[in-house]
A and B are shown apart, each in its own frame.
Chain A
Amino acid sequence: MVFSDTPFLFVFLPILLILYYLTPRQAKNYLLLAASLLFYFTGEPKYTLLLIASALGNYLFALAIEGLPRAKKPLLILAVVLNVGTLVFFKFSAVWISGLNALLGTSFEPLALPLGISFYTFQAMSYTIDVYRGEARLQRNPFAFATYLCLFPQLIAGPIVRYTDVDEELSHRRHTLQDFSEGLARFTVGLAKKVILANNLGVLCDTFRQAEAPSAAFGWLYAVCYALQIYFDFSGYSDMAIGLGRVFGFHFPENFDYPYISGSITEFWRRWHKTLSGWFRDYVYIPLGGSRVSRPRWMLNLLTVWALTGLWHGSGTGVMNFILWGALYGVLLCLEKLFLGKIFAKVRPVGHLFVIAVTLFGFVLFGADGLAGALSDLAILFGRSGLTDPAALYYWRSGAVLIAVAVIGATPLPKKCWDFLQRRAEGVTAVLQPLLVVAALAISTAYIVGSTFNPFLYFRF
């Protein structure tokens, strides 16, 4: 089950909403936990126990860290090793199982990557580390902690919500009409971003993949569409997660802030997948010394963090693409700290163009099938199979409005217009918002019902 399929929208969500608002306050968390486990079970039946084990394990580790102050460091190390070990075990099963097969002459199949494991493992670790640091209050109720970790809106693809973000709301949250309504509106925006924009951009990307010898024009169409698709896919999911959180009384951190308007790579990563960048900053970069070390060490810290960021996205045998993608950003961030940043600060359009170019090339690397595929895709961008072809022109023309809408939608312009309207003609928005919500729901439903299954891109991480 995903947020953009019929079982979720028209069965799971309405039933849960009714039950949730009928359930007494003290039982709401139990209901949410049960619903979240059911939600996960329908998508990943065989790994539901792994999720429960992760919740229980981290709950017990945190309890032990608090209860055994003398042993808290070894306990933390053990907790981190177990969390990271489990993540690596599953993420790279294709690599180590193929090694095992080569060594023993066996033919074991690689394990499927458990849904959302990268997200919930990082959430769980943040709790255990924060308890160790004394930055998070120990949660003694295992069900309350499991509710946090398994909470279905953010379970599978983020945002990476830290325990401290929702600690208070786990026990004392308010349910207001405004949160309920704005949450549903935000969910609808996310749904439309995913279903109408990202999926249609994905169709254009697929035509590139199906073409026999795509020209440079086709390659650039793919690069633009893929960069937009991944943004609307992922930020759409985040919008849906944040919106659902509000419906149930939680306020999750924002995950995107119009990254494509950034004037530097540093700014881009402050705007893109903010909760992941923040996680690496607080749990890896700063403990390594951050920028308060010698310059070479600082650069090394940056490269380490960004290689790990790339690694976090990767899995299986295609991991090198992601490590290179992360390392590319690491190197560019180092260059920005050394000298590029000054240039970008003086001439912002240059920085902006640089960000766009890096993002396009970066996502081509990100979306390619292995290193050979990445090289092939990059060669296409530079005209290996000619500059243009009829198919490229056809799809540029066919997708022109969609791409234009997506480009505008990736800027703050629509939100600014809406805010302006709210300030100047609030009465209009009282009519317009429900109309837009029902229109977006109807069109999204039309796309969902009339299309084949299309999972979220970030589910594979």
Chain B
Amino acid sequence: MKPISTIRSIATAAVFCLFVAFFGVAVWLAPDKDYSVYERRPLQQTPVLEEAEDLSDYFSSWDAYLSDQFYLRDELRFLKSSFACNVLRQTDVNGYYSEDGSQAELLYPMNDANIASNVALLEEVRKTYFPNSPAYYAVIPDKSYYMDVPLGLDYDGIDRIFQNGLHAAAISLRDRLELSDYYGTDIHWKQEELEEVYEVLRVALRGDLPPFADAGFTELTAGEFYGVLYGQAALPAERDEMHYLTNATIENLTLTVWDTGKTGAVYDTEAFAGDDAYDLYLGGEAAILHVENPAATGDRKLILFRDSFGRSIAPLLAEGYAEIVLVDLRWIRPAYLSNFSDLLSADESTDVLFLYSAQVLNSMKLG
């Protein structure tokens, strides 16, 4: 071998062996993690033969375990996304894309059957529990609706599914929002940007709500955060800043989490520092939440069927109602609602609002 070939051979063999050895050793030395904050999911733990279905399952779970616990896993995920975007020039990375610092999930293809099934479930709930109360529905567009992406959900189609399947009055939010009303790295809307949404709901619903400008909201800052899309897309982005609106009424609201029996304020600044910053609003996900307004002049009630978006708008609507009951059908089956007959008791004066993000309607099975 010529000396130059020898150098090349030694260098090639050395970098390969060092690379494999480094990560091979690091994956065993680095302590196992239980949960990935970036990906919002539990990580695979050391496989146990007794827990596996069979030997094949046991061996394949080692692959999942080593990949989940891989040293520098998050950095490698960012490397992958960066390569896909900057070298392969892919428009999206595994269904996530970024436009002017705002990230979104590509919701394609639209799952018409799932949306129809969810709407049928909402109608079943309405007929069963609230036959005499006026009902409304509003669909929150996903971020991509406001982005320059040719693929996305067919909102006219979603409207048709609702009109045919749910006996409720439509409240259109499509023209009341824009891209800047959503966080850059999160799927959610910003509470402080919901003036137009608040106004359209104020007019449609029967609560005694003042105009947004007269509500006396003060904007407070919770802090900076990375939203759920940041970790899932693994694309570079600036941190978002979360703000929340408050006034005298909101400060006096009491929140009861029926899942745990816990009571407290509607804004949970400790929860903001947890895995999901959006848990600032009403403390996070729960099947049944009860917001009571001691300053209310009447006894009007709002029953709000919702996903996580509903948690941030509910405090703003509280002034118009004596109480708001928030039901998340992702965490409770409709049949179990009969156990909450007192809380969900409704008459002609009760407003029932189905407020769902298109993303949840398309991707998740309610109930």
Q: Is A297 an interface residue (CB 8 A)?
A: no
Contact A184 B73 (CB under 8 A): no
- Chain B residue numbers with a CB within 8 Å of A9 are 20
B12 touches A426 (CB 8 A): no
Instruction: Give which listed residue, A11, A446, A448, contacts B83 with CB less than 8 A.
Output: A446
What chain A residues lie within 8 Å of B9 (beta carbons)?
177-178, 180-182
A contact residues around B1 at 8 Å (CB): 177-178
Task: List A residues 182-223 near B (Cβ within 8 Å).
Answer: 182, 184-185, 188, 196, 200, 203, 210-212
B77, A449: Cβ atoms closer than 8 Å: yes
Tell me whether A442 and B79 are in contact (CB under 8 A).
yes
CB contact under 8 A between A437 and B8, given known A11-B66, A177-B1, A400-B89: no
Complex Cα–Cα for A445 and B2 (A): 32
Q: How far is the CB of B167 from chain A (nearest CB, A)?
A: 28
Residues of B within 8 A of A182 (CB): 9, 12
Inter-chain contact B60/A11, CB cutoff 8 Å = no
Q: What chain B residues lie within 8 Å of A391 (beta carbons)?
A: 108-109, 150-151
Let me know if B21 is at the binding interface, CB within 8 A: yes
**Interface status of A384 (Cβ within 8 A of chain B):** no
Name the one of A43, A393, A401, A438 contacting B15, with C-beta atoms under 8 angstroms. A438
Q: Is A261 an interface residue (CB 8 A)?
A: no
A25 → B minimal CB distance (Å): 20
Using known A-B contacts A14-B20, A177-B9, A449-B76, determine if residue A42 contacts B108 with beta carbons closer than 8 Å.
no
Asked whether B260 is an interface residue with its Cβ less than 8 Å from the other chain, the reply is: no
Q: How far is the CA of A44 from the CA of B54 in the complex (A)?
A: 11
- B2, B12, B84, B88: the one contacting A405 at CB < 8 Å is B88
Point out the residues of chain B lying under 8 angstroms from A42, CB to CB: 59, 62
Q: Check if A266 is an interface residue, CB within 8 A of chain B.
A: no
B76 partner residues in chain A, CB cutoff 8 A? 442, 445-446, 449-450
Shortest Cβ gap from B51 to chain A (Å): 16
Residue of A17, A42, A430, A431 most packed against chain B (CB within 10 A): A430
From A5, A184, A400, A401, B16 is in contact (CB under 8 Å) with: A184
Question: Is residue B335 contacting chain A, with contact meaning CB distance below 8 A?
Answer: no
List chain B residues, Cβ under 8 A from A430: 4-5, 7-8, 11
A441 B89 Cβ-Cβ under 8 A: no
Q: How far is the CB of B156 from chain A (nearest CB, A)?
A: 15
Does the CB pair A441–B70 fall under 8 Å? no
Minimal beta-carbon separation of B193 from chain A (angstroms): 29
Within 8 A of B (CB), among A409-461: 426-427, 429-431, 433-435, 437-438, 441-443, 445-451, 453
Scoring B residues 13 to 41 as 1 if CB is less than 8 Å from chain A, else 0, what string do you get? Answer: 11111011101100100000000000000
B99 interface residue, CB < 8 Å from A?
A: no
Contacts of A401 in B (CB 8 A): 87-90
A/B interface sample: 5 pairs, CB < 8 A: A9-B20, A427-B4, A434-B8, A438-B19, A445-B23
User: B-side interface residues toward A, CB under 8 Å?
Assistant: 1-2, 4-17, 19-21, 23-24, 27, 54-56, 59-60, 62-64, 66-67, 70, 73, 76-77, 79-81, 83-84, 87-92, 94, 108-109, 149-151, 234
Closest A-B pairs by Cβ, 5 of them: A181-B9, A6-B66, A398-B91, A45-B55, A446-B80
